[in-house]
């Protein structure tokens, strides 16, 4: 496995990100070791914060101090391919199964237990799989603008049609792609425009995606979102993620995700959803969890107003308050 490592100088003096850098190694799956970076602040019960695509632990920079000051140990890793973590150069190295295995290895290496998981976007696709397969390590789950797609509701015989539709979806520039995401669905799921933009458009860049998604993104924040990716060769993981989302019934990840749902249907530990009101990607996605997961019953599920997909940045105080209150109300 060929691996790139972003130069440390790219991360010098990032605004509001003065946390000590921590590293550990996980097995890549082919005998190679991958270095993962993580923030580890505070003391107490563990809150594990998982980011998604195309962000990194910088997404939690506003929440980490609030949670640590409230008396918790906050662990926020950079997924492989993002932030300060190693970046395999081949998109084929970034499989859904590999990401789940890498996160399991990360948690086991640190010996984390009694975990409250906070997950969003791909952090939830990975994190919820890990919870389902390692329930004993987790005490609670906070799901924020995320999900665990498993093809439910899509007929199996639609696979060929959906593949063709995806192939025929144009790879639009970022501005046009965002317009499609926020527009009413026409002849195809809006998410296909996101997949194709990340997959094929030559000007894809994580910082541009974040700039177009966040309520506020000044020059210093833009520099931070750009930091992990000096050039296109560092972006294989960021480009690959949307193509891995199991939105078509013949996706190889669907059996494992359906097995995870079976586990979640028996998960009676506290489980809360905190979605935002302005996210076109996950809007309404909380309903299945609230209805299906036993631990979600009776919890104070919330819709945070005025926040988009990356609500850790748009509404850090509000989401932190949800997390702290949720833990306090579900002790023991």
- C-alpha–C-alpha distance, residues 308 and 192, integer Å: 19
User: Is 186 within a domain?
Assistant: no
Domain interval for residue 40 = 3-153+214-328
What does the block give as tokens for 101?
């295995």
What does the block give as tokens for 56?
């990194």
**pLDDT tens track of the chain, all 332 residues?**
999 999 999 999 999 999 999 999 999 999 999 999 999 999 999 999 999 999 999 999 999 999 999 999 999 999 999 999 999 999 999 999 999 999 999 999 999 999 999 999 999 999 999 999 999 999 999 999 999 999 998 888 899 999 999 999 999 999 999 899 888 877 788 899 999 999 999 999 999 999 999 999 999 999 999 999 999 999 999 999 999 999 899 999 999 999 999 999 999 999 999 999 999 889 999 999 999 999 999 999 999 999 999 999 999 999 999 999 999 999 87
pTM of the model: 0.96
Strands 45-50 and 138-146: unpaired
User: Is 146 within a domain?
Assistant: yes
Q: What share of the chain is helix, strand, coil (3-state, %, to 5)?
A: 45, 15, 40
User: Is 198 within a domain?
Assistant: no
Strands 33-41 and 22-27: antiparallel
User: Domain holding 258: CATH number?
Assistant: 3.40.50.1820
Candidates 235, 240, 251; CA nearest to 99 is: 240
User: Is 195 within a domain?
Assistant: no
User: Is 200 within a domain?
Assistant: no
Query: Exposed, middle or buried: residue 120 (CB in 10 Å: 0-12, 13-18, 19+)?
Result: buried
Give the number of domains in the chain: 1
Residues 6+ away with beta carbon under 8 Å from 84: 6, 8, 11, 21, 23, 37, 56, 78, 228
User: Is 41 within a domain?
Assistant: yes
User: Is 158 within a domain?
Assistant: no
**Among all residues, which ones are annotated catalytic?**
121, 279, 309
């Amino acid at each position: 496995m060929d691996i790139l490592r972003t130069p440390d100088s790219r991360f010098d003096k990032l605004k509001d990100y003065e946390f000590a850098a921590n590293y550990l190694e996980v097995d890549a799956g082919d005998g190679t070791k991958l270095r993962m970076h993580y923030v580890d602040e505070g003391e107490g019960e563990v809150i594990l914060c998982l980011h998604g695509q195309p962000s990194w632990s910088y997404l939690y920079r506003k929440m980490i101090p609030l949670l640590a000051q409230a008396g918790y140990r906050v662990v926020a890793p950079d997924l492989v391919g993002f932030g300060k973590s190693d970046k395999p150069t081949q998109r084929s190295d970034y499989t859904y199964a590999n990401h789940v295995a890498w996160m399991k290895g990360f948690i086991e290496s640190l010996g984390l237990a009694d975990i409250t998981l906070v997950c969003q976007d791909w952090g939830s696709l990975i994190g919820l799989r890990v919870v389902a397969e390692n329930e004993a390590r987790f005490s609670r789950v906070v799901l924020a603008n995320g999900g665990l797609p498993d093809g439910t509701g899509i007929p199996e015989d639609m696979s060929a049609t959906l593949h063709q539709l995806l192939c025929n979806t144009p790879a639009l520039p970022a501005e046009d792609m965002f317009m499609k995401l926020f527009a009413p669905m026409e002849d195809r799921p809006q998410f296909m425009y996101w997949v194709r933009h990340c997959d094929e458009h030559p000007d894809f860049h994580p910082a541009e995606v974040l700039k177009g998604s966040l309520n506020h993104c000044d020059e210093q924040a833009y520099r931070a979102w750009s930091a992990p990716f000096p050039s296109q060769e560092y972006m294989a993981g960021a480009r690959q993620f949307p193509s891995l989302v199991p939105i078509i019934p013949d996706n190889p990840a669907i059996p494992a995700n359906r097995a995870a749902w079976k586990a979640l249907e028996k998960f009676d530990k506290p489980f809360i959803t905190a979605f935002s009101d302005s996210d076109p990607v996950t809007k309404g996605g909380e309903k299945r969890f609230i209805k299906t997961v036993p631990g979600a019953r009776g919890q104070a599920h919330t819709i945070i107003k005025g926040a988009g997909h990356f609500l850790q940045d748009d509404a850090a105080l509000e989401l932190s308050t949800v997390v702290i209150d949720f833990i306090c109300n579900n002790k023991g």
